[in-house]
Amino acid sequence: MSVRVRYAPSPTGSPHVGNIRTALYNHLFAKRFGGVNILRFEDTDRSRHRPETEVDLIESLRFVGVEWQEGMEVGGPHAPYRQSERKEAGIYQTFIDRLVESGAAYWAFDTPDELDEMRLFQQVNKLPTGYFGGDWREASAAKVEEARAAGRPGVLRLRIPRGEKIVFEDAIRGRLEFEGDTVDDPVLIKADGMPTYHFAAMVDDHLMGITNIFRGEEWISSAPKHVVLWRALGVEPPVLVHLPVIKGRDGSKLSKRHGDTSCLDFRKAGYLGDALANFIALIGWAPGGDREVMSMEEMAEAFDLKGIQPSSGIFDLDKLNWMQGARLRALPVAEVRERFVEYAGREETASYWQAKSEEDPTAAGRLADILLLREAAQSDPDHAEAMIALEQERVGSLADFGPACRFFLEDPTEYEEKALKKWQGRPEVLDLLVRLAAALEGRESATDADCEALIRGLASDLGHEKLGPVVHPVRLALTGKSVGPGLWELMAVLGPAAMRRRLAAAVEAFA
């Protein structure tokens, strides 16, 4: 049987990295076994539904490279793929009828107040809370008919068998066992006629031929309800794969306190979608061997349920940054430039750094630098690529290219204090800068090799055995900084005209 999986989020908020990892595993699994991945929206809770987050969901999936062959946006043989629409289409009715007729489910007419009272009683008496029978599990047909005729709103509940074990298999935890007496009768259809997750998701999974259910481990305790439902419906049970959760640095559940956690936050911060995908895939899954930095194709090839961890993992930003750096370095410069331009041009990039600047004073400057480089990349792509190539290996994210390349585009307005102190007021340094400027006179361009020869020549002319006494002050004069790319490489990108200008300014500043 061919593999069919689904990512079925509820559009109630912007998805965080944990949700997206579930989607990623679906994608990887489908790819690995040549199956189909389906995107379905579970919007059966009308009060929590936020339609605008449907866009975030889709954007997040695209960002990390999750693909789906059936479902939202792309359609397919099982349309519609939004549960509220499926309900409207009457898809669930025959299953409701079947369940009621067989006695596997029953109508219950408790009011919310009655339910609250029941729960309170259970709590006070230290009993398990939940609907284990109430007034309606064994109600006579006549009583049900009476309530129905009186127009009382009712819900459909699944009849969980009592006095027996409910046993099932989890793909990564093995055999799981629940005592039927500890599982309450879940609502299948709400009083407003909408199905609950328990019902709609299981029916849809069956209808759509889902073979494996990937979902968060918070679903484990509901799993016995689903098992009973499958049995009642007489359907082939899919394989259950309960995924561990991703927690924050301090071991608590991922939340806003941990900074960026929504998937789209990472796009805004300048992360590469494939780096994020690579990183979150590895929280909770080990590909075997010592491989870590992997493309989507490599991950799909290696993906295996056996490599999935049962224990929860912690989102370690340090490792993400390393992984991102590794990927950034491996990319051809032209592609990095393209990705940067795309990033810098997005509206969300500007608003992200603007919002950030309220607490982080460097964020506003960063945004300005990003925009500056973007402009350069558009007006002179080759020149920008030369800069990017030099910064590629010392940058952690796309956003870092802004501040990193700034010195190429703007003459220094100030010099690093500590370094300036060291070289300032020294006649031989002034002499050096003047000589360099003179050597550059009349030149249109200079290659790496030209610049290297120039600097080496200057060093020997001035009687320096080592390059340091020449390189450091020149770097400071040219860039205002004491760290950065190799001096000749940087000089070649700057060009003679800019160098002459900067040297002149430095001669004054260093005097």
Contact pattern from residue 317 through residue 346 relative to RNA, giving x for each residue in contact according to CB under 7 A and a dash for the rest:
-xx-xx--xx--x-----------------
List C-alpha distances in Å: 99 to 94, 105, 141, 164, 362: 9, 5, 15, 20, 62
Q: Whose Cβ is closer to RNA: residue 475's or residue 502's? A: 475
Contacts of 442 (CB under 8 A, 6+ apart): none
> Site for RNA (CB under 7 A): which residue of 35, 273, 412, 484?
484
Is residue 26 a contact point for RNA (CB under 7 A)?
no
Q: How would you classify residue 76: left for phi > 0, otherwise alpha for psi between -120 and 50, otherwise beta?
A: left
Residue 394 Cβ vs RNA, minimum distance, rounded to whole Å: 3
Is residue 483 a contact point for RNA (CB under 7 A)?
yes
Residue 342 Cβ vs RNA, minimum distance, rounded to whole Å: 23
**CA 30, CA 71: separation in Å to the nearest integer?**
14
> Site for RNA (CB under 7 A): which residue of 59, 67, 292, 304?
292
**CA 501, CA 260: separation in Å to the nearest integer?**
42
**CA 352, CA 354: separation in Å to the nearest integer?**
5
Q: Whose Cβ is closer to RNA: residue 43's or residue 385's? A: 43
Is residue 498 a contact point for RNA (CB under 7 A)?
no
Residue 487 Cβ vs RNA, minimum distance, rounded to whole Å: 4
> Site for RNA (CB under 7 A): which residue of 90, 103, 163, 251?
251
Q: Binders of RNA among 116-135, rule CB under 7 A?
A: 119, 126-131
Is residue 255 a contact point for RNA (CB under 7 A)?
no
Q: What are phi and psi of 134, to 5 degrees?
A: 55, -150
**CA 368, CA 246: separation in Å to the nearest integer?**
34
In the 8-state DSSP scheme, what is residue 366?
Answer: H
> Site for RNA (CB under 7 A): which residue of 96, 171, 176, 376?
176
Q: Is the previous residue joined to 80 through a cis bond, with omega within 30 degrees of 0? A: yes
- For RNA, which stretch binds (CB under 7 A), given 57-65, 108-116, 335-343, 435-443? 108-116
Residue 2 Cβ vs RNA, minimum distance, rounded to whole Å: 25
Q: Binders of RNA among 410-469, rule CB under 7 A?
A: 452, 466-468
Q: Binders of RNA among 216-245, rule CB under 7 A?
A: 217-222, 244-245
Residue 378 Cβ vs RNA, minimum distance, rounded to whole Å: 26
Q: Is 87 a catalytic residue?
A: no
Catalytic residue, candidates 225, 256, 319, 356: 256
Instruction: Render 144-211 in DSSP notation, one character per residue.
Output: HHHHHHTT---EEEE-PPSSSEEEEEETTTEEEEEEGGGS---EEE-TTSPBPHHHHHHHHHHHTT--
Q: Binders of RNA among 363-392, rule CB under 7 A?
A: none
Q: Whose Cβ is closer to RNA: residue 229's or residue 487's? A: 487
- For RNA, which stretch binds (CB under 7 A), given 8-16, 57-65, 371-379, 495-503? 8-16
**CA 177, CA 79: separation in Å to the nearest integer?**
35
Q: Binders of RNA among 133-152, rule CB under 7 A?
A: none
* Residues 41/245, Cβ–Cβ less than 8 Å: no
Is residue 312 a contact point for RNA (CB under 7 A)?
yes
Residue 346 Cβ vs RNA, minimum distance, rounded to whole Å: 26
Is residue 485 a contact point for RNA (CB under 7 A)?
yes
Q: Locate tokens 């309220």: which residue?
A: 358
Q: How would you classify residue 395: left for phi > 0, otherwise alpha for psi between -120 and 50, otherwise beta?
A: beta
Is residue 310 a contact point for RNA (CB under 7 A)?
yes
Rounding to the nearest 10 degrees, give the CA dihedral for residues 125, 130, 136, 137.
-110
Is residue 196 a contact point for RNA (CB under 7 A)?
yes
Is residue 110 a contact point for RNA (CB under 7 A)?
yes
Is residue 192 a contact point for RNA (CB under 7 A)?
yes
Q: Which residues are catalytic?
A: 256
